[in-house]
Structure 1
Amino acid sequence: MSRAWKNSSSCDDENDGNASCSTRAQNENPDELDHEIAQLTKLRSGPHELLGRDLPGRLKRPVSTVKMLVGREGNYSGRGRFSTADGCHVLSRYLPVNGPTTVDRMKSRAYISQFSTDGTLFVAGYQGNLIRIYNVEKGWKTQKNVVTKGMRWTITDTCLSPDQRFLVYSSMSPIVHIVDVGSATTDSLANITEIHDGLDFSGSDDDYDEFGIFSVKFSTDGREVVAASSDNSIYVYDLPTNKCSLRIAAHRDDVNTVCFADDTGHLIYSGGDDHLCKVWDRRCFISKGQAAGVLMGHVEGITFIDSRGDGRYFISNGKDQTTKLWDIRKMSSNVTYNVRLRDPEWDYRWMEYPIHARNFQHPHDRSLATYKGHSVLRTLIRCYFSPEYSTGQKYIFTGSADCSVYIYDLVSGAQVATLDHHGGLVRDCSWHPYYPMIVTSAWDGLISKWEFPGRSAPPAQLRRRSRRQTLYEDFGF
């Protein structure tokens, strides 16, 4: 069952005492992130002040949904309807904490759980050489079983193309495979029932057997795939020409995560075991041959990066048991590598994080905020911004080695909910882009679904409507 530190209808209230967040602004205002992103988040997820105002009086938070409906009917805002921000204010308060409902159960560990960009498909990747694609609109019916090829240890990452026609999957191998998701074949057995084309990312021949891909992402136009590798490099693969178009010797250790910063594809974020986050601008890389900037703050390796999608902000999970929020305008060209307090023999794969290192802060920390409470151990656990459409990206959420999912308020840092159910660590989790639903994948082999209000049947609006005719219509937005 879920353990919510605050009621989902009042998660805008004062910070919970169990939550932990540190920011550069806390000396003056310990409860709020004093930065531009805080104001942007409030603009995206806050109601029009006239819809929530008692006359006479002042705006109170959180604003009652009933009060907002009365304000809309009275046309207090002068618009006669709810804005997108008004809708986010309502929907973001109803956290998907009810459940869970079991979507699927396997005998092998579940590593990947990802919705497609429109929420109609869901991809789950298992250690046992299987990727399963579910049709959310058809009651989570299995649309495709992909039996993978050339796996080493496990599937490390998957990604659907923007048009949802192709899927790429990676492993501890230099070959990333691509499969046609849109074909009529339900059981896609590599090179038997379907061809799984191989994209060769191999570095030098000497390290071929040790080479692995930890992260793969499609560009927005679907023409490129960017990959993070164990040879300390980032690769960009050009699909029309079927070859690697760029290799960047990016970090001093394994590159665990990489993603495009925005829709343009010019900026790339990367994170590695050298505990650094880096920003790469491909428009000037050829002339400079180096990163556009470096962001320091983690004292252990980076396991995952998620971009806010605006080319400015991103979050990262670190093996120092924290999630950090970054603004690339604070990046530096100077790098400090030798910042560690713990035993150099410590290995996050099978050892607990040293107690004496938990409160250590990087002397050159350039992050905007640090969120603590979850556990990043054993594997490359992932963190994300909540959806823009329904929450205004008001929250960040992350899997955890303690078998839970943690949800934090981006601005206040409050831990607003914890989802407890699994019997193994939660490596990945995904929030539906339009509906209040989170799906988790864990090492107990379970794919589990959390919702608000919580129903076993697929949402009716997903079955009947296009993705743009969403919950907002039900509220008259």
Structure 2
Amino acid sequence: MGGWFSSFLTLKSFLYRPKHLSISAVADPSPDPFVILSAAAEIAALHRRMEDTAVSTSSGIGTLQVNANQPSASFDDTDVEDSVSSLLREEKEETSSDEDESSDDSCVRMSDRQQRELFEKQRKMAFRGRMLVGNQQTLSEMREDIQNRCYGLCTASTSITELCAHREIARPHGGTCMPSGLKANIANQFLPNCRRIVDKLRSKSFCCQFIKGGRELVVASQDERIRFFQQCGPRDRYLLKNTIHVPITSWSILDVAMNRRGDALCYGTWKDSVFYARLHEPTFDNPTGISWTELTIPNQDAGFFRSMAVFSLRFSRRGHEILCGGSDRCLHVFDLESMSRIVTIPDAHGDDINAVCYGDTESHLLYSGGDDGLVKVYDRRAFGEMDFHPVGAFAGHRDGITYIDARGDDRYLISNSKDQTVKLWDLRRFSSEETVRKTINCVRQQSWDYRWQPAPPTTCTPLKGDTSVVTLRGHSVLHTLVRAKFSPSRTGKRYIYTGCARGEVVIYDLLASPPSGSGENDASNPVTRRLPGHVGVVRDVDWNPSCNEIATCAVCF
């Protein structure tokens, strides 16, 4: 039970040396490629900081402002080289100290010995899983809601055969079908546990999504194609139904979205446009049955950013709008009736926007997550003329956000992050401005690059002022924007499932209980199942809304 989409490619494994390396090692007669990669990551991180400083200085707009008394930055090669040397010297001096240096405005700094101990602790934790409760009362309310959706919890003595027999006996006498809560109760006893390969591709697969009630599966790949698989045959296998060759792609399709009816799609790539298409029946004049429309995004900073990418996009619930975000740090809303851009929120984040989401059924609430480590909430009903301030923000992650997902009850949402955690948030408890500032400063101190470096050891202690309900650990976020989502309604929204850089799917159980006799904030193991099978990074996952199947797609580097 469990239909999986799998993409198997050749995976070349690289073992990286510790983060603290000197650039002087590059001058060795036989340079080590791992040293070069680490030095390149340091230079890229420094360059990103210098770009942020230039933006804040030139526009005066941003979350962090540069002191006006500081001299303007020069970006010639000499200054960059001197800055890199200075940065590495300071890092070496900081890590050689045996004492912790911490402040309210920054992440905790650790010595080499403490980092080694913490790294070993996190390595064990990554396979065991960990749930850190931030607000016990809110978690109890959510668990009560889950149990109400599932008619309580099934026990070992629950007889599914007897339940089905009562259902069949009651039907001739006017009885109804089995209630949805009881169905969820039974379905949660049979989580996916085996793998089925849908297709093997020679290119990276970045997105997968079930449509039409789970009868079809959509997969977007780097080979400029969007594939449609249909469930059919005696064993309900997913067979290739149709392939769409997209008109424009720069490097890869980064994200694709389908409306609820499954008759319209949109995708984003490394271009300042959203490409929208309606799916019609093929005709003589239009053999493919597809008509594309390019919805352009004005890139006012094209000279500075050079190129723009649309990293995330979503359809509204009614399918009349598209919300998108990308490397221009702005949020855009397109109306599909007028085919025009109706909302643009400038400088929505201080860095790239990696994830967007509609928060309610009426499309009033907009959620966004970026590389600044923040999740922001915008209410379109509160917008004024050129006034697009968020109604609140969630802060507590120590690195950038890779994905966000709403629970669908206008109350809870989750965020996945490069700090190797998933956090659950309550819309009634926003973070304070002080916590937002601490999160931004903590994220700016990160010097590693998740695209090719292993994750550095980080403390499990939450930032002061973190308002998250729970924090989940046990999966790995590396190389790409790994996604995490709520399980569908047929499970009672009980689980949070996510991709993983170790080639597996990790399923967290929100009803996991802490050890007996422990305090309310003690950690428990929330990982209820791991589903291995890929040799690359599982980037996207999607749970079939009508049966217990999870589709996955992998990216190999």
TM-score by length of 2: 0.68
What is the rounded CA distance, in whole Å, between the counterparts of 2:245 and 2:167 in structure 1?
A: 52
Which of 186, 195, 211 aligns to 1:90? It is 186
Write out aligned runs for 1:97-176 (5 A): 97-98=193-194, 100-116=195-211, 118-137=213-232, 139-176=237-274
SS of corresponding position for 1:286: coil
Change (3 A) 1:128 1:175: same
Q: Shift in Å at residue 153 of structure 1?
A: 2.1
In the alignment, is residue 24 of structure 1 matched against residue 134 of structure 2?
A: yes
Contact map agreement 2:483 2:539 (CA 8 A) in 1: yes
In the alignment, is residue 349 of structure 1 matched against residue 451 of structure 2?
A: yes
Q: What is the identity, as a one-letter code, of the residue corresponding to 1:328?
A: L
Q: Shift in Å at residue 229 of structure 1?
A: 1.4
Q: Which residue of 1 aligns with 2:326?
A: 229
Contact map agreement 2:254 2:269 (CA 8 A) in 1: yes
SS of corresponding position for 2:383: helix
Write out aligned runs for 1:48-447 (5 A): 63-66=158-161, 68=163, 82-98=178-194, 100-116=195-211, 118-137=213-232, 139-184=237-282, 194-204=290-300, 206-207=302-303, 209-249=306-346, 250-286=348-384, 288-332=387-431, 334=433, 335-336=436-437, 337-340=439-442, 344-355=446-457, 357-388=458-489, 390-412=490-512, 414-444=526-556
* Sequence identity percentage: 33
Change (3 A) 1:34 1:242: closer
SS of corresponding position for 2:182: helix
Q: Shift in Å at residue 63 of structure 1?
A: 3.8
The 10-residue stretch of structure 1 (162-171 or 273-282) with the greater mean CA deviation from structure 2: 162-171
The 10-residue stretch of structure 1 (280-289 or 257-266) with the greater mean CA deviation from structure 2: 280-289
1:399-418 per-position Cα deviation (integer Å, ceiling 9, x unaligned): 01111110010232621111
SS of corresponding position for 1:101: coil
Contact map agreement 1:129 1:151 (CA 8 A) in 2: yes
What is the rounded CA distance, in whole Å, between the counterparts of 1:269 and 1:254 in structure 2?
A: 14
What is the rounded CA distance, in whole Å, between the counterparts of 1:392 and 1:153 in structure 2?
A: 39
Contact map agreement 1:202 1:211 (CA 8 A) in 2: no
What is the rounded CA distance, in whole Å, between the counterparts of 2:498 and 2:459 in structure 1?
A: 18
Contact map agreement 1:307 1:313 (CA 8 A) in 2: yes
Q: Where does the alignment leave 5 or more consecutive residues of structure 1 unmatched?
A: 3-16, 53-59, 446-477
Contact map agreement 1:41 1:394 (CA 8 A) in 2: yes
Q: What is the identity, as a one-letter code, of the residue corresponding to 1:440?
A: T
Q: Which residue of 2 aligns with 1:57?
A: none
Change (3 A) 1:247 1:431: same
Change (3 A) 1:254 1:341: closer
Contact map agreement 2:282 2:289 (CA 8 A) in 1: no
Q: Which residue of 1 aligns with 2:60?
A: none
SS of corresponding position for 1:340: helix
Q: Shift in Å at residue 339 of structure 1?
A: 4.4
In terms of fraction of residues, the more helix-rich structure is 2
What is the rounded CA distance, in whole Å, between the counterparts of 2:162 and 2:141 in structure 1?
A: 29
What is the rounded CA distance, in whole Å, between the counterparts of 1:332 and 1:84 in structure 2?
A: 36
What is the rounded CA distance, in whole Å, between the counterparts of 2:325 and 2:406 in structure 1?
A: 15
Q: Shift in Å at residue 185 of structure 1?
A: 7.6
In terms of fraction of residues, the more strand-rich structure is 1
Give the superposed CA RMSD. 3.0
Contact map agreement 1:45 1:392 (CA 8 A) in 2: yes
The 10-residue stretch of structure 1 (223-232 or 173-182) with the greater mean CA deviation from structure 2: 173-182
Q: Where does the alignment leave 5 or more consecutive residues of structure 2 unmatched?
A: 3-126, 513-524
Change (3 A) 1:227 1:403: same
Contact map agreement 1:224 1:239 (CA 8 A) in 2: yes
Change (3 A) 1:218 1:341: closer
Q: What is the identity, as a one-letter code, of the residue corresponding to 2:191?
A: L
Change (3 A) 1:332 1:344: closer
Q: Shift in Å at residue 134 of structure 1?
A: 1.4
Q: What is the identity, as a one-letter code, of the residue corresponding to 2:382?
A: C
SS of corresponding position for 2:447: coil
The 10-residue stretch of structure 1 (339-348 or 397-406) with the greater mean CA deviation from structure 2: 339-348
Q: How many residues align?
A: 408
What is the rounded CA distance, in whole Å, between the counterparts of 2:283 and 2:358 in structure 1?
A: 31
What is the rounded CA distance, in whole Å, between the counterparts of 2:143 and 2:431 in structure 1?
A: 22
Q: Shift in Å at residue 133 of structure 1?
A: 1.1
1:278-323 per-position Cα deviation (integer Å, ceiling 9, x unaligned): 1110011226520011111211111001111111111111000011
Contact map agreement 1:170 1:214 (CA 8 A) in 2: yes
The 10-residue stretch of structure 1 (426-435 or 153-162) with the greater mean CA deviation from structure 2: 153-162
Q: What is the identity, as a one-letter code, of the residue corresponding to 1:405?
A: V
Q: Which residue of 2 aligns with 1:473?
A: none
What is the rounded CA distance, in whole Å, between the counterparts of 2:294 and 2:200 in structure 1?
A: 29
Write out aligned runs for 1:450-465 (5 A): none
Change (3 A) 1:429 1:23: same
Contact map agreement 1:257 1:303 (CA 8 A) in 2: yes
1:400-438 per-position Cα deviation (integer Å, ceiling 9, x unaligned): 111111001023262111111111110001111011111
Structure of larger gyration radius: 2
Contact map agreement 1:305 1:317 (CA 8 A) in 2: yes
Q: What is the identity, as a one-letter code, of the residue corresponding to 1:202?
A: P
Q: Shift in Å at residue 146 of structure 1?
A: 1.3
What is the rounded CA distance, in whole Å, between the counterparts of 2:382 and 2:443 in structure 1?
A: 36
The 10-residue stretch of structure 1 (87-96 or 116-125) with the greater mean CA deviation from structure 2: 116-125
Q: What is the identity, as a one-letter code, of the residue corresponding to 2:354?
A: N
Contact map agreement 1:306 1:384 (CA 8 A) in 2: yes
